[in-house]
Amino acid sequence: MKPRRLKTYGEGGSVYHCMSRIVGGEHLLGAREKEIFRKQLHQLADFCGMQVLTYCVMSNHFHLLVRVPPEAESRHVGIAELERRVRVLYSRDEAAAWISRLHSEEAEKIRERLLARMGDISVYLKELKQRFSTWYNRTHGRYGTLWAERFASVLVEPTGRALLVVACYIDLNPVRAGLCDDPKEYRWCGYAEAVAGGTEVRRGLLRVLESNDWRQAGREYRLILFGQAYHTDAGGPAGIPEAKLIAVQQKAGELSLPEVLRNRVRYFTAGAVIGSRGYVEAVMRKRRDYLSPGRKTGPSRIRAPALFGVHSLRGLQKNPIG
């Protein structure tokens, strides 16, 4: 039986872009619901030993860019760290009960039960959605399924341009939806939380940007994101001066990264694996069983100048714009 979720672990771990929608596409998530979901996604990531690089919670769906640590790192969690993670996730009384059992005769059994919930993207997303569903249904006097599907995910190369592209795509969701013209004004996305001083999300975006300096990296990331507010249509409003947009373009006549990101790019949600050609080929070799032994074609290059060097496992639109 083939695994249901493509997983691979390198020395630096794996990164996934995960998405899920509310059943029927209903817009059920208001400000309070988004705040609760944001709190839960951070708490559970901490418990599971994962890192949220960025995210966006919309009224009927969410996007998460999550780093899963190497398997060995997930298994080697000391008792003090286990106790800390339990306190992060559970109420005081529930945490006390778990910790007491960690020091009882069944300690090893309890430790294994806790570790089994860590370092696995499927377990993380399943528990996150279940926890939020329980809270939502109880709060709103509702019962039944809240989410439309299990969840969709794309494996992303953990460093380089592909990771930056996906992070931008996620943080620009509210801009594409017409909810704002500056992603820092939409408080339920990673970029806005980072601008507001969110330590963990800043660390996540710094990993994306391969930097240790938020002041510098934050400005660079903003230049990329803010290009989204610029409209080339005649008579359309300009979010930033044309000269500022041109300044972030690397080659004359080529499509800029912000322009590419203005529209929904299917590779980011249906490409299965995206990254450099070498990375996608390595995943194909490692998971040939999952990807079909008879497959003869290699990675597909995403045909857009601003995405030069980025490849996808699945060949979708020839021009991923529109």
Out of 15-24, 71-80, 172-181, the most confident range is 15-24
Q: Considering the chain, what percentage of its residues have pLDDT values greater than 90?
A: 37
Q: What is the pLDDT of residue 85?
A: 93
Residues 6 or more apart whose CB falls under 8 angstroms from that of 136 comprise 28, 33, 142, 146
Q: What is the pLDDT of residue 311?
A: 67
Average pLDDT over residues 181-186: 80
Average pLDDT over residues 177-202: 85
Residue 33 has pLDDT above 90, yes or no: yes
Beta bridge partners of 156: 15, 274
**Dist CA 124 CA 312 (whole Å):** 25
Q: What is the pLDDT of residue 52?
A: 96
**Dist CA 97 CA 114 (whole Å):** 13
- pLDDT category at 256 given cuts 50, 70, 90 is very low
CA-wise closest residue to 169 among 306, 10, 299: 306
Mean pLDDT, the chain, rounded, equals 77
Residue 13 has pLDDT above 50, yes or no: yes
Is pTM beyond 0.85? Reply is no
Q: What is the pLDDT of residue 318?
A: 42
How many residues are present in the chain? 322
Average pLDDT over residues 221-231: 64
**Dist CA 33 CA 138 (whole Å):** 12
Strands 300-301 and 273-275: unpaired
- pLDDT category at 252 given cuts 50, 70, 90 is very low
Residue 192 has pLDDT above 80, yes or no: yes
Q: What is the pLDDT of residue 200?
A: 92
Residues 6 or more apart whose CB falls under 8 angstroms from that of 27 comprise 59, 60
Which of 24-28, 83-87, 270-274 is predicted with the least confidence, judged by mean pLDDT? 270-274
Average pLDDT over residues 100-119: 90
Decide: residue 36, CB within 10 A, 0-12 exposed, 13-18 middle, 19+ buried.
middle
Out of 131-145, 212-226, 239-253, the most confident range is 131-145
Cβ atoms 124, 69 nearer than 8 A: no
Question: Who has greater pLDDT, 42 or 236?
Answer: 42
| DSSP assignments along 179-209, one per residue | S-SSGGG-TTBHHHHHHTT-HHHHHHHHHHH
- What are the strands of the beta sheet with 61-68, ordered from one edge? 51-57, 61-68, 14-21, 152-156, 273-275, 311-312, 300-301
- pLDDT category at 173 given cuts 50, 70, 90 is confident
Tens of pLDDT, residues 197-212: 888 999 999 999 999 9
